[in-house]
């Protein structure tokens, strides 16, 4: 069937070894629509759910068996819709919950929840319409009592950007919400059902040589959404960058990984330890300073009480080619082992990592074909010794929750009549900002070959701009001077970019602004 929803999947198995005996398990999923993989999780049957976001068409959900072979797929939305899937979680009844953004004709976005049973059938959906646009990074998990907790970002400029956490009942009706100046990257639920948020917060620059206005941030919420603590990490006034993931430490407190500036455009992986109240205790750099370039550790996972697994993306400084790196550390910050992983065919960006039932780690992300420039999704399984795992032998036998055969393909509409309206308050609790803010516009948006950035009310200071992809990887930079009236226009070339969502960080003096656009 020839349709934008019907993809031709190509499975590529290639043997790359870290040693003469090490084998790896890797799968690529690609078709006639560029796909960005934002999550992959293990199901109760030992198979996997994989989500692919297009940003210019309906997104797609894939169900695979234990060996990664596709059993069925579902397009999320109807033809002409633009949706993305930000995160998924397995539910206690064997189904899954999907969290994402649904884009309207003017590219404004609404958050949605979609509940699907184990047979790929829709049970319910909810659309959350707010007074501002929902952001691209989001996550969802289920409490032990069956409720759901999920987060996203709202706003378009750094001044207005805010992380929001919601709690709903088992049918998506909201019970509480929490607003904070954290731009969330990850969420962890501890044994007492407290929510630990990891991300970055806006912080005014200390000096003009610092590259970012963002610092590591951590927040803890109780089961009612009340804030236990909120901390901005700024040890020795040096940590500018992004925090990505947090896990509890056996010595009462938390371990947080992030990508932080060490001067100029160099970013390294760092590990922070804080006490149970969020107060920083120590920091250690995990990247060899002699090879520092741009490194982003996107996930921190527990191997045992004293050992942790990190998956990171490293820029090879060769036409923006990225490789993966796996790091094994102790809870004291000692690096036990580091293993780089790359292919000659693809530039790889990891997005999320989940521990599987056999104690290994499922890594998902987006692969850019260096020869064709097209994107596809990849799934990689790594064991606790950082070796790439071999295939499961045969098929896992399980009792299916489906009473009848499951359709191979289909569409699931997000057409909830129970739209929930939300008013997001103005951001509070951050460093003071000037009252007169510049006005930015991007045209056209979505764009193809180029996009025009226009601004007014800038004053006379130099503009430093950086374009990032949806995973936070730097694509290009530009610099400009406003005219005497404080206005500026800058044309940005997009011809080398694949389809998807991107961000422009615009710095002027001590101020930083953020704009979002899409390449179609």
Q: What is the CATH number of the domain that holds 475?
A: 2.60.40.2550
pLDDT bucket at 1, cuts 50 / 70 / 90: very low
416 with 444, same domain: the answer is no
Q: What's the mean pLDDT when you consider all of the chain?
A: 76
Has residue 510 got a pLDDT over 90? no
53 with 159, same domain: the answer is yes
- Asked if residue 359 belongs to a domain, the reply is no
- Asked if residue 469 belongs to a domain, the reply is yes
Report the candidate in 102, 45, 152 with the shortest Cα–Cα distance to residue 415: 102
225 with 118, same domain: the answer is no
155 with 57, same domain: the answer is yes
Angstrom distance (rounded) from CA 211 to CA 507: 9
Has residue 455 got a pLDDT over 60? yes
- Asked if residue 249 belongs to a domain, the reply is yes
Which domain, by its residues, includes 38?
27-180+376-433
286 with 388, same domain: the answer is no
31 with 175, same domain: the answer is yes
265 with 335, same domain: the answer is yes
- Asked if residue 271 belongs to a domain, the reply is yes
Edge-to-edge strand list for the sheet holding 500-508: 474-480, 463-469, 500-508, 511-519
CA 486 to chain centre: 35
Angstrom distance (rounded) from CA 38 to CA 377: 9
Q: What is the pLDDT of residue 237?
A: 53
How many domains, in total, are found in the chain?
A: 3
Has residue 206 got a pLDDT over 80? no
- Asked if residue 118 belongs to a domain, the reply is yes
For the whole model, what pTM was predicted? Answer: 0.73
241 with 115, same domain: the answer is no
| pLDDT above 70 as % of the chain | 73
Lowest mean pLDDT among 141-150, 365-374, 391-400, 496-505: 391-400
Find out whether 64 and 362 touch, Cβ atoms under 8 Å.
no
- Asked if residue 190 belongs to a domain, the reply is no
- Asked if residue 495 belongs to a domain, the reply is yes
The CA-based angle 372-374-378, given to 5 degrees, is 120
Average pLDDT in the 66-85 region?
A: 76
52 with 102, same domain: the answer is yes
- Asked if residue 413 belongs to a domain, the reply is yes
Q: How far apart are the first and last CA of the chain?
A: 23
262 with 208, same domain: the answer is yes
34 with 137, same domain: the answer is yes
Report the candidate in 362, 378, 425, 410 with the shortest Cα–Cα distance to residue 130: 425
404 with 423, same domain: the answer is yes
């Amino acid at each position: 069937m020839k349709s934008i929803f019907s993809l031709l999947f190509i499975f590529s198995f290639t043997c790359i070894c870290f040693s003469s005996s090490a084998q790896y398990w890797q799968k690529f999923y690609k078709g006639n629509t560029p796909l960005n993989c934002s999550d992959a999780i293990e199901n109760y049957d030992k198979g996997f759910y994989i989500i692919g976001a297009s940003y210019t068409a309906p997104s797609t959900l894939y169900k695979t068996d234990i060996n990664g072979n596709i059993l069925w797929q579902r397009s999320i939305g109807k033809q002409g819709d633009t949706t993305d899937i930000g995160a998924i979680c397995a539910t206690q009844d064997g189904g899954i919950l999907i969290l994402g953004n649904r884009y309207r004709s003017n590219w404004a976005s609404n958050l949605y929840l979609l509940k699907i049973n184990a047979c790929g059938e829709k049970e319910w959906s909810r659309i959350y319409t707010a007074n501002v646009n929902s952001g691209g990074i989001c996550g969802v998990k289920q409490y032990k009592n069956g409720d759901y907790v999920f987060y996203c970002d709202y706003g378009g400029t750094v001044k207005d950007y805010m992380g929001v956490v919601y709690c709903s009942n088992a049918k998506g009706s909201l019970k509480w919400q929490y607003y904070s100046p954290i731009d969330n990257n990850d969420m962890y639920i501890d044994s007492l059902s407290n929510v630990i948020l990891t991300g970055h917060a806006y912080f005014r620059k200390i000096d003009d040589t610092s590259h970012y206005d963002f610092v590591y941030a951590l927040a803890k919420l109780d089961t009612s959404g009340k804030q236990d603590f909120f901390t901005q990490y700024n040890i020795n006034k040096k940590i500018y960058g992004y925090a990505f993931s947090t896990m509890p430490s056996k010595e009462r407190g938390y371990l947080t990984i992030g990508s932080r500036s060490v001067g100029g455009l160099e970013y390294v992986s760092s590990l922070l330890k804080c006490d149970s109240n969020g107060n920083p205790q120590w920091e250690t750099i995990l990247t060899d300073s002699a090879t520092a370039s741009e490194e982003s550790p996107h996930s921190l996972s527990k191997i045992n009480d004293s050992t942790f697994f990190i998956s990171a993306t490293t820029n090879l400084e060769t036409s923006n080619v990225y490789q993966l790196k796996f790091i094994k550390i102790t809870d004291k910050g000692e690096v036990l082992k580091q293993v780089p992983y790359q292919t000659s065919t693809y530039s790889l960006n990891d997005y999320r990592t989940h521990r599987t039932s056999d104690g290994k780690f499922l890594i998902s992300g987006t692969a850019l074909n260096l020869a064709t420039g097209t994107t596809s999704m990849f799934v990689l399984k790594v064991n606790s010794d950082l070796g790439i795992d071999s295939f499961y032998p045969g098929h896992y036998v399980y009792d299916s929750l489906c009473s009848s055969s499951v359709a191979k393909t289909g569409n699931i509409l997000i057409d909830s009549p129970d739209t929930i309206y939300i008013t997001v308050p103005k951001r509070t609790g951050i460093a003071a900002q000037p009252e007169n803010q510049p006005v930015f516009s991007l045209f056209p948006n979505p764009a193809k070959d180029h996009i025009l950035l226009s601004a007014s009310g800038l004053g006379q200071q130099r503009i430093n701009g950086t374009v990032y992809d949806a995973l936070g990887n730097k694509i290009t930079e530009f610099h400009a001077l406003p005219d005497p009236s404080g206005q500026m226009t800058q044309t940005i070339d997009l011809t080398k970019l694949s389809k998807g969502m991107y961000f422009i960080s615009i710095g002027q003096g001590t101020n930083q602004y953020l704009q979002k656009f899409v390449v179609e």
